[in-house]
A = this chain, B = another copy of it.
Amino acid sequence: MAANDAVATENRRFLDGQAVVALNVMGSPGAGKTSLIENTIRWLNNRRCVAVIEGDIATNYDAERIARTGVPVIQIATGGECHLDAAMIKQALADLDLPRGGILLIENVGNLVCPAEYDLGEHFRVVVASVPEGDDKIEKYPAIYRRADAVVVNKADLAEMSDFRFDRFRMQIQNINSYASLFELSCKTGEGLSAWADWIAQLRCRN
């Protein structure tokens, strides 16, 4: 873990040198991480240039989806590992056409547990929840939510059919991590995406 942190620090310095702000996007399988990235690119509407690193156990499906938006993208297939690590990101950064002053969106493996422990060299951590997962996941998977800079609740259009109580979810976030910015949105309807894109657009390296 110390070795990972050392490489993560290298990655962050490298990104700082390019004035690139990196986000580690985490969430359950199927929460809509790839859809959120596709929509972030669209809603940013050239206010900031974007590059993407896609992480999955297997397949290049997500990189193929992102490539259609026209931004630089690299797929990492972990081959069984339940999370990305800093060394995988270091290798991807060497190959990726990074936009100076832009945004790097890193989609982690779909998993609410393991990714929480690995610093990739990102500047901000985003957890993507989704309404059909239910409103009790923050207390069940506290570690990943505790260190999030932003929490996105996707699939808000399914709230009524899923008995999702936004009040309960908001109170849990407040209890565990009152620092996190909360975005309730739907990648399907577009609801809430403007506020999310505005948040991304203003991000600067913290160092």
Contact = CB atoms under 8 A, between A and B. Distances in A.
Interface of A: 28-30, 56-59, 61, 80, 82, 109-114, 130, 132-134, 136-137, 139-143, 155, 157-158, 161-162
28 contacts: A28-B28, A28-B30, A28-B110, A29-B133, A29-B137, A29-B141, A30-B132, A30-B137, A57-B113, A57-B140, A57-B143, A58-B139, A58-B142, A59-B139, A59-B140, A61-B140, A82-B111, A82-B114, A109-B113, A111-B113, A111-B114, A113-B114, A130-B132, A132-B132, A132-B155, A132-B158, A158-B158, A158-B162
Nearest to A132: B132
A57 B114 contact: no
Contact of A56 (B29, B57, B140, B155): B140
A133 B158 CA distance: 13
Contacts of A134: 30
Contacts of A161: 157-158, 161
Contacts of A132: 30, 130, 132, 155, 158
Contacts of A130: 30, 132
Contacts of A114: 82, 111, 113-114
A57 B141 contact: yes
Given A59-B139, A140-B61, A133 B82 contact: no
A113 B61 contact: no
A34 B43 CA distance: 37
Contacts of A56: 140
4 tightest A-B CB contacts, nearest first = A30-B133, A82-B113, A132-B132, A30-B134
